[in-house]
Structure 1
Amino acid sequence: MIAEKQQVQPSTVVQVERPGHKEMVNYGLGFFGVILTWTLVGTFLTYYYTDVAGISAGVVGTLMLVARLFDGVTDIGMGTLVDRTKSKHGKARPWLLWMGVPLGLATILLFSVPDIGTSGKIVYAYVTYILVILVYTAISIPFKTLLGLMTQEPQGRSILNIYTGIFTMLATLSIMILAQPVASAIGGKTGWTVVAAFSGVTIMVTSYLAFRSTKERVGQGSAALNKEIVPLKIGLKALFTNKYWLIMTLYCVITYTLNALVTGAGLYYTTYILGNAAYFSIASLLLFLPSMIGFFFAAKLTDKFGKRNIALIVSIIGIFGPIIKLIDLTSLPIFLTGTVVQGFGLVPTIMFLYAMINDTAEYGEWKFGFRTQGLVNSAASFGMKVGAGLGGALIGWLLAFGGYVGAAEEQTPAATSMIIVLNIYLPLGLAVLQAILMSMYKLDKLYPQILADLHKRKIK
């Protein structure tokens, strides 16, 4: 095991290849399609099941957690599969080509629950939801892994993540602002099937464009990578002794639980606390306002202050969002003001998360002598899936605990209290944990030395 060095000498700076603008745009465009599906499922599937398909909230909550936990386990297998993939297109890129069409079709099936009785609907929901998240895993992990394989240069990787963040935000806003109005305008189950079809076709097209226009550069000259395939047992042992990966994975659990609550429970809040479901689109736009502004300054600020320092500051700011909402729970202006402030907590997820996760792969290679980029991303993805599943489960379970009745004009005081807990109190606690974890991540200072040492090993 190699001792960590905190000081980096100027002579250790390594020049590595960075993707061009066109390549970064096409990679980000591919992520646009992936995030359309992720956002549609994460934001509206619970509402679709309870208020459109007519499945009880308690059943939906259990489905969300069971399916996500199962999916999280398969993430590890997918990461290992990516690390062992050998093709003329590389390790990660071919999966973008293979999985785009299956994900598009599965998304359409997900939002097409037929009228086949209560038991039939539940079985259909389990089968199609598990299918979607399995196929999603088979494309999302290669996408995240590809980011780390396109360049090792820290600023280049940060800029690539910013490109990804721009398209992530555009995809998220497109779904969160337009999905509910479009589905309502068309009406009933058909409206949601049409929205899902739009997302499905989009992922088919954008995944192909990303496959065609990107290039894997990292690892081609690594002796450790070319000697032999790292056994899963050894790879997992190294992974769970990689402290920065552990921090980022736990951060993913907390962050995606928080995101699931803010987005998935938001429509219930605007409908039953603020009195108008249409407010959800406005709140969704304002939630991303800090990120939209941040994109204009992200590259320069990252170069000057580092990813971690910026992420920590905005995470602390985001804590005050739920606190502001507590001033008056039924005031739309106060709710929207709190939403803007709360949006600062999304900045690290949109702009830096995938770059920081991939940085932990370099740390692992430097520390243990071998590289498992796919395993690193799949295990971190497990944290995202667990967080999203936990957030969705909490929505279903707490609504059921409060006696929530889908599509009712009014809810019981207990159900209303649970909606407030899901939107205010739980997000507040999670935002505090988010900031604490980011304060523990200190890899940015060490990264230049890590990159220099890895470069020396390759040229020996």
Structure 2
Amino acid sequence: MAGKPLGKDSMGIQKTMRLGDYLGDGLGQLPLNVMANLVGQLTYFYTEKVGLAAGMVATMLLAAKFADAFSDLVMGKIMDMGNSPKGKCRPWFLRMAIPAAVIIIMLFTVPKNAPGGLQMGYVLITNILLSAVVYTAVAIPYGAIMAIRTESVEERGRMGIVRTIFGYVIGMVIAILLIPITNMLGGDQGAWIKVSVVFAVLSAASLFILYKTSRETSKTAAEEEPQDTEEKVPFAEAIRMLFQNKYWVIMLLVNLLVNISYGLSTGGGTYFAKYILGNDNLVALLGAVGLLPTFIGFIIVGPMTKKLGMAGACKVSALIGAVAMVVRAFTPYSIVTTVGCGLFSSFATIPMMCLTAPMVNNCVEYNDWKYGKRMVGMTNSASSFGGKIGSGIGGSLIGWLLALAGYNAAAASQPGSVNIAIFAFAIYIPLGLFVIMAVLFHKYDLEKHYVEIVTALKERKAGK
């Protein structure tokens, strides 16, 4: 059944999404967050369970992230040039389902007793395969399909919220249960491999379902625009155009900073729990107490967006996160402060997690209005480039700071400088990132002009 007519949104733009569409689309975020969150735990796994040096691990992970970031640009161009009858985006979800499962397991099968050079080569190759190949081949089409699926800002915002809910649920499962479950299974490398198999099967199944339920239906992108339009924009020219789109540049920087913060939080929490609070199992408590503000955030992000706009909601959330970090800086050893401020910092991340992808995709219409070229794939891939560099820097900062502080996983106790390093990546650096992001969101005013832009595009197309 077709169901009741969907009507138009508050800006007068035709809606295309029903509940089943949102749920099927949102499920695609699950494998992406599985891969991202597991990568966030790799520094701890490599140093504590395999015995690799923290500084070398950090360098290998950053090298993989740089390869990953540049592969985004290539993938965006490949996607824009695609001519499959299934669409530009959908085929990639099916193609990557099995490779995603295989590489997730391979991350944790490092040959433990092999020579150091072989171990590091294995770490580098498996991380490049996961991040630069599999993750990129899913993430770029998945981000771009939002612009092809609907041109309604409201629907894109809801897609962002649903995607974030799916991703956050699996992220919280990893944050809360990964360490306790692997410890319960023996705490060794074999325990991590067993858990990775479960996540691998779940990821493959989610990508199969995403392929079956996703569609590419936006008339503006899929029907009215000639199929070869994107092919006529040379790679260097597309990059030049994007850097002249001030809103895209803002989102490039936002994605860079958000992912530095994300890399620090996902990779640093276990170290904070173990060496500052005294028990690595406390990472489950820290993750669990974040559930309440997270659910509250999901509930009110819609009303916040309606009242303040996407950029306004993100700016307020960044300021909340900054205040929470200031309080933690004065009482860094207090578990009460860590938990209490964690409630607010967890809440602060929700609007940004939900709304940055729609804000990037809104830049597609600005490209069309300014240049006559939508560049859907390049808009998402080049912006993702900043995100990948950011997550690489965030994860690597942990290893580098620990190495500079004299951290040794095999030692019975750590020098006091290790605590300072942990405070840096858990409190001080995130504080600065929140402040800078608040300034950037303040400068993003595209929503004020969006209806005018869409109206001008429709008039332009009607006049052809």
Q: TM-score range by the shorter chain?
A: over 0.9
Q: Supply the AA of the counterpart residue of 1:223.
A: E
**Residues 203-218 of structure 1 correspond to what in structure 2 (within 5 A)?**
203-218=203-218
**Residues 303-312 or 315-324, more deviating:** 303-312
Distance 1:340 1:273 in 2: 19
Is residue 446 from structure 1 mapped to residue 449 from structure 2 by the alignment? yes
Q: Secondary structure at the match of 2:330?
A: coil
Distance 1:227 1:143 in 2: 20
- Report what 1:4 is aligned to: none
- Report what 2:377 is aligned to: 374
Is residue 222 from structure 1 mapped to residue 224 from structure 2 by the alignment? yes
- Cα distance change on mapping 1:228 and 1:445 into 2, 3 Å: closer
Q: Secondary structure at the match of 2:347?
A: helix
Residue pair 1:323, 1:338 contacting (<8 A) in 2 also: no
Distance 1:102 1:228 in 2: 28
Residue pair 1:51, 1:406 contacting (<8 A) in 2 also: yes
Per-residue CA deviation, residues 160-214 of structure 1 (Å, 9 max, x unaligned), is 1111111111111011111111111112001111221111111110011011011
Distance 1:459 1:288 in 2: 49
Residue pair 1:258, 1:391 contacting (<8 A) in 2 also: yes
- Number of residue pairs the alignment of both structures matches: 449
**Residues 246-265 of structure 1 correspond to what in structure 2 (within 5 A)?**
246-265=249-268
Residue pair 2:32, 2:139 contacting (<8 A) in 1 also: yes
Distance 2:260 2:140 in 1: 19
Deviation at 1:349, TM superposition (A): 2.9
Distance 1:436 1:423 in 2: 21
Is residue 105 from structure 1 mapped to residue 108 from structure 2 by the alignment? no
- Cα distance change on mapping 1:412 and 1:241 into 2, 3 Å: same
Q: Supply the AA of the counterpart residue of 1:161.
A: G
Is residue 190 from structure 1 mapped to residue 190 from structure 2 by the alignment? yes
Residue pair 1:223, 1:458 contacting (<8 A) in 2 also: no
Distance 1:88 1:78 in 2: 19
Deviation at 1:50, TM superposition (A): 0.7
Distance 2:140 2:361 in 1: 12
Distance 1:40 1:278 in 2: 17
Deviation at 1:286, TM superposition (A): 3.2
Distance 1:33 1:70 in 2: 20
Distance 2:341 2:412 in 1: 26
Alignment gaps of 5+ in structure 1: 1-11
- Report what 2:161 is aligned to: 162
- Cα distance change on mapping 1:408 and 1:287 into 2, 3 Å: farther
Match of 2:280 among 262, 277, 280: 277
Is residue 29 from structure 1 mapped to residue 44 from structure 2 by the alignment? no
Residue pair 1:272, 1:410 contacting (<8 A) in 2 also: no
Is residue 199 from structure 1 mapped to residue 199 from structure 2 by the alignment? yes
Distance 1:361 1:294 in 2: 27
- Report what 1:60 is aligned to: 57
Deviation at 1:221, TM superposition (A): 2.8
- Cα distance change on mapping 1:171 and 1:407 into 2, 3 Å: farther
Deviation at 1:299, TM superposition (A): 2.6
Q: Secondary structure at the match of 1:89?
A: coil
- Report what 1:6 is aligned to: none
Deviation at 1:277, TM superposition (A): 1.0
Deviation at 1:58, TM superposition (A): 0.6
- Report what 2:435 is aligned to: 432
Is residue 130 from structure 1 mapped to residue 132 from structure 2 by the alignment? no
Per-residue CA deviation, residues 414-439 of structure 1 (Å, 9 max, x unaligned), is 12211111111111111111111111
- Report what 1:120 is aligned to: 118
- Report what 2:147 is aligned to: 148
**Residues 260-269 or 407-416, more deviating:** 407-416
Q: Supply the AA of the counterpart residue of 1:157.
A: R
Distance 2:230 2:26 in 1: 32
Per-residue CA deviation, residues 252-301 of structure 1 (Å, 9 max, x unaligned), is 11111011112211110110111111211121233454332022233333
Residue pair 1:169, 1:288 contacting (<8 A) in 2 also: no
Distance 1:119 1:145 in 2: 39
Is residue 173 from structure 1 mapped to residue 172 from structure 2 by the alignment? yes
Residue pair 1:37, 1:107 contacting (<8 A) in 2 also: yes
Residue pair 2:63, 2:124 contacting (<8 A) in 1 also: no
Q: Supply the AA of the counterpart residue of 1:220.
A: A
Residue pair 2:230, 2:373 contacting (<8 A) in 1 also: no
Match of 1:326 among 326, 329, 335: 329
- Cα distance change on mapping 1:228 and 1:73 into 2, 3 Å: closer
The TM-score normalised by the length of structure 2 is 0.93
Deviation at 1:348, TM superposition (A): 2.9
Deviation at 1:29, TM superposition (A): 1.0
Q: Secondary structure at the match of 1:223?
A: coil
Q: Supply the AA of the counterpart residue of 2:38.
A: L
- Cα distance change on mapping 1:88 and 1:375 into 2, 3 Å: same
Q: Secondary structure at the match of 1:319?
A: helix
Q: Supply the AA of the counterpart residue of 2:224.
A: S
Distance 2:431 2:91 in 1: 41
Distance 1:288 1:263 in 2: 15
Distance 1:276 1:99 in 2: 38
Distance 1:310 1:20 in 2: 25
Per-residue CA deviation, residues 345-397 of structure 1 (Å, 9 max, x unaligned), is 31233210111110111111111101111111111111111011001111111
- Cα distance change on mapping 1:409 and 1:20 into 2, 3 Å: farther
- Cα distance change on mapping 1:412 and 1:77 into 2, 3 Å: same
Distance 2:332 2:15 in 1: 51
Distance 2:74 2:173 in 1: 32
Identity %: 33
Alignment gaps of 5+ in structure 2: 1-9
Q: Supply the AA of the counterpart residue of 2:80.
A: D
The TM-score normalised by the length of structure 1 is 0.94
**Residues 100-109 or 403-412, more deviating:** 403-412
- Cα distance change on mapping 1:276 and 1:367 into 2, 3 Å: same
- Report what 1:292 is aligned to: 295
Per-residue CA deviation, residues 16-38 of structure 1 (Å, 9 max, x unaligned), is 23211101101111211221111
Distance 1:240 1:206 in 2: 34
Distance 1:408 1:373 in 2: 51
Residue pair 1:14, 1:451 contacting (<8 A) in 2 also: no
- Cα distance change on mapping 1:175 and 1:228 into 2, 3 Å: closer
